[in-house]
């Protein structure tokens, strides 16, 4: 009975801390979000020409009246502040504008591409964490010895390799030379497979992009977890755990790892934004239909509405990810968000 | 002061016997031949300044020495069994179950991401095959034993929610969780407020009697020694230089180092004012003494004679059970006036 | 943004220090130095740094290799116009020559017959120029804003911190693409764009440094002497804040080179120059047959960035030595 109520207390305290952290971080993030929105709008004003110019250029020619009329239709001839107000009002309703190129609302365009980008970024994050932390653990366990130095160099090489270049080299090796994996796309065109077969098919297409995207993060996490594990092992409470007679393995798993992983996971959460950015090049190379490739298409097509919509969306996603990171950090570390702490 | 009852230690069997222990870190000897024994149910204090090797000695009893250290010589027998050179698994069985240890820094000694109750239960579960629920119940019992109020709620707390004194009590609970025969306390109160110090030491002494433990108390504080120890070992530079009961030792110190320690500690009722003159001090400091042949204290000793620098003085045992590693002060002409401590 | 710093410290430089109770020893004993071998007698700072440098180099022979590589590449970049006179975009031979096939073109030629070695040599100059310019600009902006925020505190700090946070939240590469798309791509705009994206990290770091150094005694002394803020920032605090900034600078050059090459690869770089990234971009469609066109310039990027990172690691060890505790 005590154990049950005890766990109830633990959950309650965890919940209350989570709520406190979420509120605090969320409130803190609001002005930042507003700032980013304003910045996006400002950038939009600096864009040379606008969507109408693009359309006119693609149509071959256009009369001045025709362009003026289109501008009026798109609301591009109003004073700046009014446009800002309209912009903000639209944003509040989730309206990011219209893309003349794709002939659909920008928000819908972005929304369609989000899942694929998130899948790729999520897979890359998980892969990077698993491999990075394992490498870091091996390095920490053999601190100063040959394997540690070797893996440190390897991780430094991973950190120095340009992501897009390794993507191309992987294509050369695995697609061109060995023919094991496809060189682009998200699924076999014209495939009618469903369920597990479809999933496996998609996974085949995901392997190379995920590996390319995760490489630099593997380097970062292995270095970080190595340092934090070495530090955790030197803490006093590890000596206490030894004095209890616990085995080294149990000390590592229950005491060292739980403390050492805290900084790693918080850093990983902050990389969500970087992954979305890095995916621009990777998605373009592999033809992966995500936000990154949409950004590339938007740049090439001078569609600044879409481009800034992507910037805005991914920034807001980063803010959301930061709030999540703070919450996870609070769940892992009971010292965070506590209302009281005895001296 | 709570009642400190001395067990009849002269008759009690020896629980822990350390004989000529030498511990080296690479080429440097931190402990150069220490011998003492802890009898059942008594409190033995090891007193010495930082660098005397007392903590290293304690760690070696628990087989907790860092990998850079090795026991170069000597033996440690616990309950008649040799525990140096045990393999890791055997050593782990003793650690926490038969011998418990608490350390100096309660603020950092507990895992910050585990509840206090879980950490105590972990110690229980390691050595006793009982259910998790039973271990948690035992943890609450232990919290009550170390006089932490409201143990049911406190067991759910994390270390950062407890004060330093309470954390040290939790450490004590962890150390005595499996009913060890010996509790090693390495400077348990140095990092605590003065008011908490006596509470913690009182707790340790009470547990010693209730749980029939012996306590090996390591400290640099002569006041603690006088108040709580049945016998005291004085260590200097890796060797024990004097042993005996505190009362006799303080009244009549037989080693120049002990004498120096006592005279260096001013007492309130001496009404000694700084305008009266400088405080007594032991001249010099511990230097690297590798290669010196004679008594390690000789360079700083006011009574050192030519023989002192030639060879290490042996540990002499006196008729009343005291041991001292210096022949000089026992000679009549050097005997100081009776010293009330 | 240097990856090896503590993330928590990066996001909020106000970590509360733990409160430790003051201990009072009842009977004071004479203070003696610890028994374990005494550390060598304190030497003048100059000697200590010199010995540290030597120790670091002795421990990591790779660092010397890194420094050598960087030196070589810099020399090649600097001397490119002399070693490979003429326009690297000029057609000089038959197309699709593999490396080693023709002695006149040791790295081969591309799809139009341009010499790859000349391209790589000139590309070195571009990459290093953009890298250094972007880093210098990013440092200038970042250190200035961070210093002002860290020194003055209060409202100034609050507003500037918010600004830093806004720019740090924007995803790097997307922002780069946006800026370069708005302003026409050139070496100058690329450097500028990279600086805009990297200054927040520097600002965070220097803000933390300035805040902590400001609280130190010698700064208090300077303030009580009536020195103005500008003088204190520049001549008192900045020298002490330099070590982590120097390490950051070398890492920034490395990441700037990576960013520039990625942008050029995507076609968003300066169209009038040959850059390693643009060479890889040009070679992309021939990946199946002439993959050396992509491999060689990319390898050059990797070597340069690796060398810079090795040097950055070495600088970190020299300037921020970890304290090794002896046996206790």
Measure C325 CA to nearest chain B CA, in Å. 12
pLDDT digits (tens, 9 = 90+) for C269-303: 888 888 999 999 998 888 888 888 899 999 999 99
Contact yes or no for B287/B296 (Cβ under 8 A): no
A258 within domain boundaries = yes
Inform me whether the pLDDT recorded for A262 exceeds 70: yes
Q: Which of B109, B144, B170, B191 to mutate to test the interface with A (most CBs of A within 10 A)?
A: B109
Give chain C's contact residues with B (Cβ, < 8 Å).
18, 20-30, 32-38, 327-328
A30 within domain boundaries = yes
Strand partners, C115: C109
What is the predicted pLDDT for the residue at C305?
92
pTM of the shown model: 0.80
Test C328 with B190 for CB contact under 8 angstroms. no
Q: Please report residues of C whose CB lies closer than 8 A to that of B52.
A: 35
Q: Please report residues of A whose CB lies closer than 8 A to that of B108.
A: 235-237
B22 within domain boundaries = yes
Q: Please report residues of C whose CB lies closer than 8 A to that of B190.
A: 23, 25
pLDDT digits (tens, 9 = 90+) for B283-302: 666 655 555 667 777 777 77
Read off the pLDDT of each residue in B200-206 and give the average, rounded to a whole number: 93
Inform me whether the pLDDT recorded for C3 exceeds 70: no
CB atoms within 10 A of CB B34: 25
C28 within domain boundaries = no
Contact yes or no for C83/C76 (Cβ under 8 A): yes
Distance CA A145, CA A142 (A): 6
Q: How far is CA B273 from the centre of its chain?
A: 33
Helix (H) or strand (E) holding B24: strand B14-25
What is the predicted pLDDT for the residue at C324?
43
Residues 6 or more apart from A122 whose CB is under 8 A from it? none
* B105 three-class SS: coil
Q: Does B111 touch chain A (CB under 8 A)?
A: yes
Residues 6 or more apart from B154 whose CB is under 8 A from it? B116, B117, B143, B148, B162, B166
- By CB atoms closer than 10 A (0-12, 13-18, 19+), residue C171 is buried
Query: Where residue B285 sits, what CATH number does that domain have?
Result: 3.40.50.300
Distance CA B20, CA B34 (A): 5
C327 within domain boundaries = no
Mean pLDDT computed over every residue of chain A: 82
More confident residue, C5 or C188: C188
B154 within domain boundaries = no
Residues 6 or more apart from B234 whose CB is under 8 A from it? B47, B48, B240, B241, B242, B243, B249, B255, B257, B258, B261
Look at B84-88, B255-259, B291-295, C280-284 and tell me which has the smallest mean pLDDT.
B291-295
Separation of first and last alpha carbons in chain B = 17
- The backbone torsions φ and ψ at residue C301, rounded to the nearest 5 degrees and listed phi first, read -60, -50
Distances (CA, A) of C246 to C47, C137, C198, C317: 20, 14, 15, 12
Give the angle subtended at the CA of A312 by the CAs of C186 and C131, to the nearest 5°: 30
Query: Where residue A119 sits, what CATH number does that domain have?
Result: 1.10.3720.10
- Label residues A108-134 b or e (16+ Cβ within 10 Å = b): ebbeebbebbbbbbebbbebbbebbbe
Inform me whether the pLDDT recorded for A5 exceeds 70: no
> Nearest residue on chain A to B157, judged by CA atoms?
A10
Inform me whether the pLDDT recorded for A53 exceeds 80: no
Inform me whether the pLDDT recorded for B71 exceeds 50: yes
> Nearest residue on chain C to B106, judged by CA atoms?
C20
Q: How many domains, chain B? A: 1
Q: How far is CA C223 from the centre of its chain?
A: 32
pLDDT digits (tens, 9 = 90+) for B31-42: 888 899 899 989
Read off the pLDDT of each residue in A44-49 and give the average, rounded to a whole number: 73
pLDDT digits (tens, 9 = 90+) for A274-306: 788 778 999 999 989 888 899 998 888 878 888
Residue among C302, C166, C213 at smallest CA distance from A160: C302
Q: How many domains, chain C? A: 1
What is the predicted pLDDT for the residue at C18?
36
Test C35 with B286 for CB contact under 8 angstroms. yes
Read off the pLDDT of each residue in B98-127 and give the average, rounded to a whole number: 92
Strand partners, B82: B77
Query: Where residue C298 sits, what CATH number does that domain have?
Result: 1.10.3720.10
Test C171 with A227 for CB contact under 8 angstroms. no
- Label residues A17-38 b or e (16+ Cβ within 10 Å = b): bbeebbeebbeebeebbebbbe
* B16 three-class SS: strand
Q: How many domains, chain A? A: 1
DSSP state of B108: T
- Give me the residues of B, 94-123, that contact C with CB < 8 A: 107
Read off the pLDDT of each residue in B165-191 and give the average, rounded to a whole number: 92
pLDDT digits (tens, 9 = 90+) for C216-270: 888 888 888 888 888 888 887 888 888 888 889 999 999 999 999 999 999 998 8
Domain limits for position B48 = 14-105+180-331
Test B109 with A239 for CB contact under 8 angstroms. yes
pLDDT digits (tens, 9 = 90+) for A150-183: 999 899 999 999 999 999 999 988 888 888 888 8
Test C174 with A311 for CB contact under 8 angstroms. yes
Test B192 with C33 for CB contact under 8 angstroms. no
Read off the pLDDT of each residue in C141-168 and give the average, rounded to a whole number: 91
What is the predicted pLDDT for the residue at A221?
94
Q: Please report residues of C whose CB lies closer than 8 A to that of A164.
A: 261-262, 265, 280
Test B51 with C37 for CB contact under 8 angstroms. no
Q: Please report residues of C whose CB lies closer than 8 A to that of B192.
A: 21, 23
Largest CA distance in chain A: 86
The segment with the largest mean pLDDT, out of A102-111, A176-185, C129-138, is: C129-138
B127 within domain boundaries = no
B129 within domain boundaries = no
What is the predicted pLDDT for the residue at A55?
62
Residues shown for chain B? 341
What is the predicted pLDDT for the residue at C41?
39
- By CB atoms closer than 10 A (0-12, 13-18, 19+), residue A41 is middle
Distance CA C171, CA A271 (A): 9
Test B220 with C25 for CB contact under 8 angstroms. yes
Torsional sign, CA A102, A104, A110, A116: negative
Inform me whether the pLDDT recorded for B120 exceeds 90: yes
Measure A266 CA to nearest chain C CA, in Å. 7
User: pLDDT class for B217, splitting at 50, 70, 90?
Assistant: very high
- The backbone torsions φ and ψ at residue B330, rounded to the nearest 5 degrees and listed phi first, read -75, -15
Look at A202-206, A224-228, B336-340 and tell me which has the smallest mean pLDDT.
B336-340
Read off the pLDDT of each residue in C88-114 and give the average, rounded to a whole number: 80
Inform me whether the pLDDT recorded for A190 exceeds 90: no
> Nearest residue on chain C to B31, judged by CA atoms?
C35
> Nearest residue on chain C to B54, judged by CA atoms?
C328
Q: Please report residues of C whose CB lies closer than 8 A to that of A35.
A: 162-163, 166
More confident residue, C72 or A283: A283
Domain limits for position A328 = 17-59+113-342
C128 within domain boundaries = yes
Inform me whether the pLDDT recorded for B218 exceeds 60: yes
C141 within domain boundaries = yes
Q: Please report residues of C whose CB lies closer than 8 A to that of A224.
A: 3-4, 7
Q: Please report residues of A whose CB lies closer than 8 A to that of B67.
A: none
Contact yes or no for C240/C157 (Cβ under 8 A): no
pLDDT digits (tens, 9 = 90+) for B40-62: 989 999 998 887 888 899 999 99
What is the predicted pLDDT for the residue at A100?
73
B212 within domain boundaries = yes
More confident residue, B309 or A26: A26
Q: Which of B60, B256, B286, B289 to mutate to test the interface with C (most CBs of C within 10 A)?
A: B286
A70 within domain boundaries = no
- The backbone torsions φ and ψ at residue A25, rounded to the nearest 5 degrees and listed phi first, read -65, -40
ipTM of the complex: 0.84
Inform me whether the pLDDT recorded for C9 exceeds 50: no
Domain limits for position C142 = 72-84+99-210+241-319
- Label residues A248-278 b or e (16+ Cβ within 10 Å = b): eeebbebbbbbbbbbbbbbbbbbbbbbbbbb
Q: Which chains touch B (3 or more CB pairs under 8 A)?
A: A, C
């Amino acid at each position: 009975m005590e154990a049950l109520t005890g766990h109830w207390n633990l959950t309650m305290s965890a919940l209350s801390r989570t709520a406190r952290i979420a509120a605090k971080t969320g409130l803190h993030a609001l002005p930042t979000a507003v700032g980013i929105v304003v910045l996006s709008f400002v950038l939009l004003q600096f864009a040379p020409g606008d969507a109408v110019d693009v359309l006119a250029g693609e149509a071959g020619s256009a009369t001045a009246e025709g362009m003026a009329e289109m501008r009026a239709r798109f609301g591009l001839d109003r004073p700046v502040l009014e446009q800002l107000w309209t912009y903000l009002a639209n944003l509040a309703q989730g309206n990011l504008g219209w893309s003349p190129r794709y002939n659909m609302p920008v928000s819908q365009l972005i929304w369609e591409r989000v899942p694929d980008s998130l899948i790729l970024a999520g897979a890359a994050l998980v892969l990077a964490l698993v491999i990075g932390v394992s490498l870091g653990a091996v390095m920490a366990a053999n601190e100063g010895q040959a394997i540690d130095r070797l893996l440190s160099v390897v991780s430094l090489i991973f950190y120095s390799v340009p992501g897009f270049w390794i993507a191309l080299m992987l294509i050369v090796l695995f697609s061109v030379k060995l023919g094991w994996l496809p060189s682009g796309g998200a699924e076999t065109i014209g495939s009618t497979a469903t369920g597990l077969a479809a999933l496996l098919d998609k996974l085949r297409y995901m392997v190379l992009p995920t590996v390319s995207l995760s490489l630099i993060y593997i380097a970062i996490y292995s270095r970080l977890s190595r340092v934090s594990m070495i530090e955790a092992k030197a803490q006093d409470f590890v000596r206490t755990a030894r004095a209890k007679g616990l085995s080294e393995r149990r000390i590592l798993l229950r005491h060292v790892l739980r403390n050492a992983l805290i900084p790693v996971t918080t850093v990983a959460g902050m990389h969500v934004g970087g992954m979305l950015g890095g995916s621009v090049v990777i998605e373009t190379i592999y033809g992966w239909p995500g936000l990154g490739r949409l950004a590339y298409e938007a740049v090439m097509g001078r569609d600044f509405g879409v481009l800034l919509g992507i910037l805005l969306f991914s920034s807001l996603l980063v803010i959301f990810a930061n709030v999540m990171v703070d919450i996870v950090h609070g769940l892992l570390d009971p010292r965070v968000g506590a209302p009281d702490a005895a001296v | 002061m709570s009642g400190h009852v001395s067990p009849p230690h002269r008759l009690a069997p020896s629980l822990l016997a350390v004989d000529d222990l030498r511990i080296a870190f690479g080429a440097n000897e931190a402990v150069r031949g220490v011998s003492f024994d802890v009898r059942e149910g008594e409190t033995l204090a090891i007193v010495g300044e930082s660098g005397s090797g007392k903590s290293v000695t304690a760690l070696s009893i628990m087989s907790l020495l860092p990998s850079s250290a090795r026991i170069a010589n000597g033996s440690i027998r616990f309950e008649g069994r040799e525990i140096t050179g045990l393999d890791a698994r055997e050593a782990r069985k003793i650690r926490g179950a038969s011998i418990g240890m608490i350390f100096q820094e309660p603020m950092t000694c507990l895992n910050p991401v585990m509840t206090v109750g879980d950490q105590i239960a972990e110690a229980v579960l390691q050595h006793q095959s009982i259910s998790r629920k039973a271990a948690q119940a035992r943890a609450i019992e232990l919290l009550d034993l170390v006089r932490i109020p409201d143990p049911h709620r406190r067991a759910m707390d994390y270390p950062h929610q407890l004060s330093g004194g309470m954390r040290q009590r939790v450490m004590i609970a962890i150390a005595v969780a499996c009913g060890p025969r010996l509790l090693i306390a390495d400077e348990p109160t140095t990092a605590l407020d003065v008011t908490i110090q006596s509470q913690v030491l009182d707790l340790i002494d009470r547990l010693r009697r209730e749980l029939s433990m012996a306590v090996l108390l390591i400290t640099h504080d002569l006041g603690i020694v006088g108040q709580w120890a049945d016998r005291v070992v004085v260590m200097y530079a890796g060797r024990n230089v004097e042993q005996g009961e505190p009362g006799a030792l303080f009244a009549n110190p037989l080693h120049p180092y002990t004498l120096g320690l006592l005279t260096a500690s001013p007492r309130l009722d001496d009404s000694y004012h700084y305008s009266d003159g400088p405080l007594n001090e032991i001249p010099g400091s511990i230097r690297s003494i590798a290669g010196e042949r004679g008594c390690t204290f000789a360079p700083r000793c006011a009574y050192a004679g030519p023989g002192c620098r030639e060879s290490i003085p042996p540990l002499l045992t006196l008729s009343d059970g005291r041991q001292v590693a210096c022949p000089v002060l026992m000679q009549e002409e050097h005997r100081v006036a009776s010293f009330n401590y | 943004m240097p990856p090896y710093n503590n993330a928590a410290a990066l996001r909020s430089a106000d970590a509360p220090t733990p409160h430790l109770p003051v201990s009072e020893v009842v009977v004071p004993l004479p203070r003696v130095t610890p028994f374990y071998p005494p550390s060598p007698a304190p030497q003048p700072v100059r000697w200590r740094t010199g010995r540290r440098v030597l120790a670091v180099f002795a421990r990591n022979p790779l660092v010397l290799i890194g420094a050598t590589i960087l030196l070589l590449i810099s020399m090649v970049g600097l001397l490119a116009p002399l070693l490979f006179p003429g326009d690297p975009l000029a057609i000089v031979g038959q197309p699709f020559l593999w490396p080693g096939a023709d002695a006149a073109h040791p790295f081969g030629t591309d799809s139009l017959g341009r010499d790859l070695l000349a391209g790589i040599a000139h590309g070195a100059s571009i990459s290093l120029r953009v890298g250094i310019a972007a880093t210098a600009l990013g440092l200038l902006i970042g250190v200035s804003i961070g210093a002002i925020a860290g020194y003055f505190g209060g409202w100034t700090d609050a507003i500037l911190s918010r600004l830093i946070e806004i720019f740090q939240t924007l995803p790097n590469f997307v922002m780069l693409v946006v800026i370069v798309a708005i302003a026409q791509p050139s070496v100058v705009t690329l450097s500028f764009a990279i600086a805009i994206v990297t200054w927040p990290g520097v600002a965070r770091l220097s803000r933390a440094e300035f805040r902590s150094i400001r609280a130190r005694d010698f700064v208090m002394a300077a303030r009580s002497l009536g020195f103005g803020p500008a003088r204190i920032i520049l001549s008192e605090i900045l020298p002490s804040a330099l070590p982590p900034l120097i390490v950051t600078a070398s890492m920034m050059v490395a990441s700037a080179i990576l960013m520039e090459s990625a942008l050029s690869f995507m076609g968003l770089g300066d169209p009038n120059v040959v850059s390693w990234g643009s060479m890889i971009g040009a070679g992309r469609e021939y990946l199946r047959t002439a993959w050396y066109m992509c491999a060689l310039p990319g390898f050059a990027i990797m070597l340069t960035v690796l060398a810079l990172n090795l040097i950055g690691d070495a600088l970190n060890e020299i300037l921020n030595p970890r304290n090794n505790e002896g046996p206790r």
